[in-house]
Amino acid sequence: MPIASIINICLGLLLAPLLLGIINKTKAFFAGRTGQPLFQAYLDIIKQLRKGVVYSQTTSLIFRAGPVIGLASVLIALAIVPLGGVAAPLAFSGDLLIFAYILGLMRFFTVLAALDTGSSFEGMGASREVLFSALAEPALLIGLAAIARETHAMSLSQMLPAVSFLSPEVVLVTVALLIVYLCENARIPFDDPNTHLELTMIHEVMVLDHSGPDFAFILYGSALKLWVLGLVIIGIVFPASSGSFWFISVISAIGGLFFLAVIVGIIESTMARLRLIRIPQLLVAAGSLSLFAFILVLR
Amino acid sequence: MDYEIILWLAITIPAISGLICLLMPSPKAALGVMCAAVFLASLSGIFAICEVLPQGRVLFAAAGWLFMDALSAYNLFVMITVFCLSSVYACIYFKEEIIHKHLNVKQIRLFTCLWCEALAAMTVVLLSNNLGIMWVGIEATTLITAFLICVHVSRESLEAMWKYILICSVGVAFAFMGTLLVAASAKSAGLSAHNLLLWTTLRTNAVHLDPVLIKAAFIFLLVGYGTKAGLAPMHSWLPDAHSQAPAPVSAIFSGFMLNAALYCIMRYVPIIEISTGNTSWGLDLVAGFGIFSIIIAAAFILFQTDLKRLLAYHSIEHLGIIALGLGLGGLGTFAALFHTFNHSLCKTLSFFAAGRLGQIFGSQDMEKMSGSLRISPVWGIGIFCSILALIGIAPFALFMSEFQLLRAAVDKGAIIALILFLLGAGIVFVGALGHAIPLVWNDPQKPTARVKTNAVEFTLVFAPLAVLLLLGLWMPETLAQALNTAADVIRQTGGTTILMPGGKQ
Amino acid sequence: MNSAIEIMMILLVLSDMALLGLSRLRTCISIVSFQGMLLGVLALTMQLSAITPRLILIAAASFIIKGFIFPFLLRRGIREAGAQYEIEPFVGYIMSVIAGLAMLGISFWLGAKLPLFAANTLLIPAALTTLFTGLFLIIARKNALNQCLGYIIMENGIYTFGIVSVAEIPLLVELGILLDVFVAVFVMGIAIYHINREFDHLDSDRLNILKG
């Protein structure tokens, strides 16, 4: 059903920034505020796109390439993940590895761009980002491997619809992936996207020097990342097989994504940011959950 | 059946009189009750032993849960000897402590109570046919004797107690794991729930047990009970506990508690051997631990300054020797059992002497204790002769049992074991003699008055020495026969007939 | 039935991992208490078809002793000693969790090797993991309370192994075992009390007067 998968991609491109809006609305609700408009993220991106770019003289080509490659990577990832039981356009055997590493590529170029500025703050943020992602990556990969092993499939498009509903392994992997989700998208308890103190920032500090369309690309890229990783989690929790009413499962999956955004909002409202020294512990916990699930599947 | 009552008495007398001790108004009364309890329990024990050992009978009680065959009778005999001597000695030792106000009534009450309970627990170990109850008994001895170590509360004794209780509890927990594995294999062999852990049924059905499970079980058991028996490398609690405990407690630790743990291993040996098809897989493991213990103990004996620690390392060495004998099988088993008695008697004596001399000098440092012979000829002779016996000087019985062990090794062609054993014994010989000669013959560091000794102390020293000497020169026929029947329980080729009590099975 | 046991075993393993990774003593005690209650329930669940008074007695005894009395004793130890955290364990918390995962792997390997009949393939490995976790805590932590905790966890592992592989040990033996473990923890508690009074700390690494 190629049309369906193309529609799915378009839905992702359109709706991804909405997730940020939902998270912020939830947080505002819990804080008793009105909060930003639901479509604030769209407005931010449009505003940044209209602005001009400022490049520091010390930066090189890499600094300019970073946001573009980052957006390109996440777009490829979007084409790999299935939505609502509809096979993704780029589905092939082993695509889960590409999925994991294409996100790694995005991070790699963000980090390079940050280092390219020569700012000590950005270097610090880059080093933290690399440390945490190095710990989060095993959790993600082993978790996906456990699912792959359980469903005997190597492609996300085949894996996700075949997952057994809420078996113990799946619950373990879901919890692990949720932790990875929060870490990869720089949410509380790992990173506070609203902080303005450079010393405590991780992701935000890396993109301080970007401006104009470049920054719009970064904003849009991170919204898409929230979308694609969320799709994996939703795919595991609510395995939907595509029938003739594919749009119903697509709509329910998108509803699940919005629900996930609400959960993230709740987590952000109820938890404080962890001390930096605690973060590796939480990530190792996620990794051990994944590994435990993997061992359970292997037996 | 009368003997059923006797087996019960051997357990219940000390258990109940331990509680009575708690009610006694004065230290003297408490010690009196303790001695009376030990002697009464011993009497009933002796009565049963006389029935079992010469005739080779097997007594049962409590629907087959309690039993006494030659092996348990022999070990019970060793235990009774050690406990009787130690109880008499404890009276002397604590009289001194009370005079110097080191202990109050409350502590004495607690001590006498725990002493009796320890006797009861060890008797349970020896008499229980159920391997689970045997484990319970061993763990109970650990917990009961833990407080005996710190009768005097001090930093050192607390440290020793903590190490003792933690290491031994963990070790014994391993043994429990092994017991469970044995039970699991018995269950898969189709034994009923009642018979699951009965030694007699396991022994008769050993052929049907799963060898893989039994091997795994034996590793757990060996490590577990080996910890309690002080086999290297699980021995680290032993020198601390022995050096910090009051001398009578050290005496029962070395004299019997270690043997009780080794007795548990002895019980499992025939089951393991039969179920693994007589490949001597289990025996080799036991022998390996034994040799390792001998070597480790020999190395540490060289550098000791504390007399009781020196004796503690001797215990490790001798338990290693017993384990080696057990592992060699055949004549080795016989030698191991013989050595058990010799070592227990000798070690009891040496701890008596060390404790008494320690009281006289107010220290256990061997340098400060030099010249013991001048200060207290009786105890000086006691410590010197017992160390001589411990290192295996010729006319004493320990020499004989070690010699038999050598013969067993030669018979079996275990050349490496032979060489390592001789090496260890040689090092111990040199090391211990180097410590003992100055300890006894040098001039005292500071002039101290000669200490008088009474007739009881005199007997306590010379009676064991005389027995050791006698056994070294001539072994009575009855003893040899008793040892052989006991050894036959372990050697699975032996022809002990195992009978269940009438009507049961 | 089977899936209930499976979930219990997963919870058991997860609680092991949590015990390895957490540093607050109070939290650890709560987790051990949870483990104890879990095992009490497990003993009943394993034999749901044939519940006897004997079984109920054993399950209730272990539920109460392991779920309530041990935590009570340990919490009192904390109050007396004022120890909240393990200051500097021999092995760090992250490394402990990684070691725990290795132990989990080894347990699965061992569980496959042992020819034991078990209703569920997860039972034996979970029991062994708990056993190893307890042992690891005893070795890797310095605080005497933590070591005592390790002993209880180890005992929990063995208990699980017992209900899984044997399940038919006579009542007397089982009660004797429970009593022994109870007294062991009790004695350790008294020892901890004395150590704390005499030394003003519970650091077993600093109990080093006796050497050689």
Question: Is the CB of C114 less than 8 angstroms away from the CB of B212?
Answer: yes
pLDDT in tens, B190-239: 888 778 889 998 988 888 888 989 999 999 999 999 999 999 899 999 99
Nearest-by-CA chain B residue for C124: B181
Dihedral Cα A173, A175, A177, A181, nearest 10 deg:
170
Question: Is the CB of B300 less than 8 angstroms away from the CB of C212?
Answer: yes
Average pLDDT, chain A: 89
Between B493 and B136, the more confident residue is B136
Q: Is the pLDDT confidence value at B353 over 70?
A: yes
Touching subunits for chain C (3+ Cβ pairs under 8 A): A, B
C94 CA: distance to closest CA in chain A (Å) = 6
Q: Is the pLDDT confidence value at A135 over 80?
A: yes
Dihedral Cα C191, C195, C198, C203, nearest 10 deg:
180
Residues of C in contact with B188 (CB under 8 A): 115-117
Among C123, C113, C130, C133, residue whose Cα is nearest residue C164:
C123
Q: Is the pLDDT confidence value at C9 over 60?
A: yes
Q: How far apart are CA A282 and CA A47, in angstroms?
A: 37
pLDDT in tens, B48-60: 998 888 877 888 8
Question: Is the CB of A281 less than 8 angstroms away from the CB of C94?
Answer: yes
Question: Is the CB of B187 less than 8 angstroms away from the CB of C173?
Answer: no
Interface B:C, Cβ pairs < 8 A: 130
Residues of B in contact with C147 (CB under 8 A): 166
Please report the pLDDT score of residue A198 as a whole number. Answer: 65
C64 CA: distance to closest CA in chain A (Å) = 28
pLDDT in tens, C91-101: 988 899 999 99
Looking at the partner chain, which of C3, C10, C17 has a beta carbon nearest the beta carbon of A288? C17
Q: Which of A252-256, C31-35, C118-122, C198-202 has the highest mean pLDDT?
A: C31-35
For chain A, the straight-line distance linking the first and the last C-alpha, in angstroms and rounded, comes to 36
Q: How far apart are CA A122 and CA A204, in angstroms?
A: 9
- Report chain C's C-alpha Rg in angstroms: 17
For residue C203, list its beta bridge partners. Answer: C143
Residue A179 tokens, joined:
């932790």
Residues of A in contact with C125 (CB under 8 A): 299
- Mean pLDDT on C39-52: 84
Please report the pLDDT score of residue A243 as a whole number. Answer: 63
- How does residue A115 score in pLDDT terms, banded at 50, 70 and 90? very high
- Three-class DSSP category at B30: helix
Q: Are strands B66-68 and B59-61 parallel, antiparallel or unpaired?
A: antiparallel
Question: Is the CB of C10 less than 8 angstroms away from the CB of A285?
Answer: no
Looking at the partner chain, which of A168, A288, A295 has a beta carbon nearest the beta carbon of C97? A288
Please report the pLDDT score of residue B151 as a whole number. Answer: 85
Q: Is the pLDDT confidence value at B187 over 50?
A: yes
Looking at the partner chain, which of A172, A284, A295 has a beta carbon nearest the beta carbon of C94? A284
> Of how many residues is chain B composed?
505
Neighbours of C49 (CB within 10 A): 6
Longest CA span, chain A:
57
- How does residue A225 score in pLDDT terms, banded at 50, 70 and 90? very high
Q: Is the pLDDT confidence value at B498 over 50?
A: no
Touching subunits for chain A (3+ Cβ pairs under 8 A): C
Residues of C in contact with B176 (CB under 8 A): 158, 177
Q: Does B240 touch chain C (CB under 8 A)?
A: yes
Q: Under a CB-based contact definition with an 8 Å cutoff, are residues B98 and B27 in contact?
A: yes
B306 CA: distance to closest CA in chain C (Å) = 10
Please give the C-alpha separations between residue B425 and each of A97, B55, C175, in angstroms, as whole numbers: 64, 37, 44
Q: Is the pLDDT confidence value at B500 over 60?
A: no
Q: How many helices (H) and strands (E) does chain C have?
A: 8, 0
Q: Is the pLDDT confidence value at B501 over 50?
A: no
Please report the pLDDT score of residue A158 as a whole number. Answer: 86
Task: Supply φ then ψ for residue A56, to 5 degrees.
Answer: -70, 150
- How does residue B140 score in pLDDT terms, banded at 50, 70 and 90? very high
Nearest-by-CA chain C residue for B179: C162
Among B492, B495, B497, residue whose Cα is nearest residue B275:
B492
Q: What is the DSSP letter of A153?
A: -
C176 CA: distance to closest CA in chain B (Å) = 6
Please report the pLDDT score of residue A241 as a whole number. Answer: 65
Looking at the partner chain, which of A168, A172, A291 has a beta carbon nearest the beta carbon of C101? A291
Among A161, A292, A143, residue whose Cα is nearest residue A234:
A161
Among B270, B173, B267, residue whose Cα is nearest residue B224:
B173
Looking at the partner chain, which of C114, C173, C176 has a beta carbon nearest the beta carbon of B216? C114
Please report the pLDDT score of residue C5 as a whole number. Answer: 87
Looking at the partner chain, which of C155, C188, C198 has a beta carbon nearest the beta carbon of B173? C155
- What element of type H or E holds B66? strand B66-68
Looking at the partner chain, which of C176, C177, C184 has a beta carbon nearest the beta carbon of B169? C184
Instruction: Please report how the helices B155-188 and B211-229 are oriented relative to each other, as an axis angle in degrees rounded to 10.
Output: 160
Question: Is the CB of C209 less than 8 angstroms away from the CB of B156?
Answer: yes
- How does residue A233 score in pLDDT terms, banded at 50, 70 and 90? very high
Please report the pLDDT score of residue B496 as a whole number. Answer: 43
Q: Does B181 touch chain C (CB under 8 A)?
A: yes
Please report the pLDDT score of residue A167 as a whole number. Answer: 86
Residues of B in contact with C151 (CB under 8 A): 166, 169-170, 173
Q: Is B230 left (phi over 0), alpha (psi -120 to 50) or beta?
A: left
Q: What is the ipTM of this complex?
A: 0.93
Peptide bond into B233 cis (omega under 30): yes
Contacts of C206 (CB under 8 A, 6+ apart): C142, C199
Among B103, B75, B76, B79, residue whose Cα is nearest residue B91:
B103
Q: Is the pLDDT confidence value at B36 over 50?
A: yes
Contacts of B129 (CB under 8 A, 6+ apart): B60, B64, B65, B66, B67, B198, B199, B200
Looking at the partner chain, which of A292, A298, A299 has a beta carbon nearest the beta carbon of C13? A292
Q: How far apart are CA B486 and CA B71, in angstroms?
A: 4
Residues of C in contact with B140 (CB under 8 A): 180, 183
Q: How far apart are CA C44 and CA C53, in angstroms?
A: 11
Q: How far apart are CA A136 and CA A235, in angstroms?
A: 20
Residues of B in contact with C212 (CB under 8 A): 239, 300, 303-304, 309
Looking at the partner chain, which of C14, C93, C101 has a beta carbon nearest the beta carbon of A281? C93
Residue C21 tokens, joined:
């990774």
Please give the C-alpha separations between residue B315 and each of A167, B438, C16, C208, in angstroms, as whole numbers: 56, 21, 38, 22
Q: Burial letters for B188-221: b for 16+ Cβ neighbours within 10 Å, e otherwise?
A: bbebeebbbbbbbbbbbbbeebbbbbbbbbbbbb
pLDDT in tens, B411-439: 988 899 999 999 999 999 999 999 999 89
Please give the C-alpha separations between residue A213 and each of A45, A68, B59, in angstroms, as whole numbers: 8, 10, 96
Q: What is the DSSP letter of B278?
A: S
Per domain, the residue ranges of chain C are: 2-206
Q: Does A36 touch chain C (CB under 8 A)?
A: no
- Mean pLDDT on C49-63: 85
Q: Is the pLDDT confidence value at B253 over 60?
A: yes
Contacts of C194 (CB under 8 A, 6+ apart): B150, B153, B158
Please report the pLDDT score of residue C196 as a whole number. Answer: 86
Please give the C-alpha separations between residue B282 and each of B215, B229, B258, B270, B420, in angstroms, as whole numbers: 8, 17, 20, 9, 20
Q: Does B215 touch chain C (CB under 8 A)?
A: no
Please report the pLDDT score of residue C208 as a whole number. Answer: 82
Please report the pLDDT score of residue B33 as a whole number. Answer: 93
Residues of B in contact with C123 (CB under 8 A): none
Q: Burial letters for A136-146: b for 16+ Cβ neighbours within 10 Å, e otherwise?
A: bbbbbbbbbbb
Please report the pLDDT score of residue C1 as a whole number. Answer: 63
Residues of A in contact with C122 (CB under 8 A): 296, 299
Q: Is the pLDDT confidence value at C31 over 50?
A: yes
Question: Is the CB of C173 less than 8 angstroms away from the CB of B130?
Answer: yes
Average pLDDT, chain B: 90
Q: Which of B452-461, C108-117, C200-209 has the highest mean pLDDT?
A: B452-461
For residue B365, list its beta bridge partners. Answer: B306
Q: Is the pLDDT confidence value at A72 over 70?
A: yes
Residues of C in contact with A292 (CB under 8 A): 10, 13-14, 17, 101, 104
Residues of C in contact with A284 (CB under 8 A): 21, 94, 97-98
Contacts of B422 (CB under 8 A, 6+ apart): B406
Q: How far apart are CA A41 and CA A254, in angstroms?
A: 18
pLDDT in tens, C130-186: 999 999 999 998 888 899 999 999 999 998 888 888 777 777 788 888 888 888 998
Nearest-by-CA chain A residue for C5: A168
Please give the C-alpha separations between residue B55 and each of B59, B477, B489, B496, in angstroms, as whole numbers: 11, 14, 14, 11
Residue B205 tokens, joined:
């059905």
Please report the pLDDT score of residue B226 as a whole number. Answer: 96
Report the range of poorest mean pLDDT among A285-289, B109-113, B449-453: B449-453
What's the whole-model pTM score?
Answer: 0.91
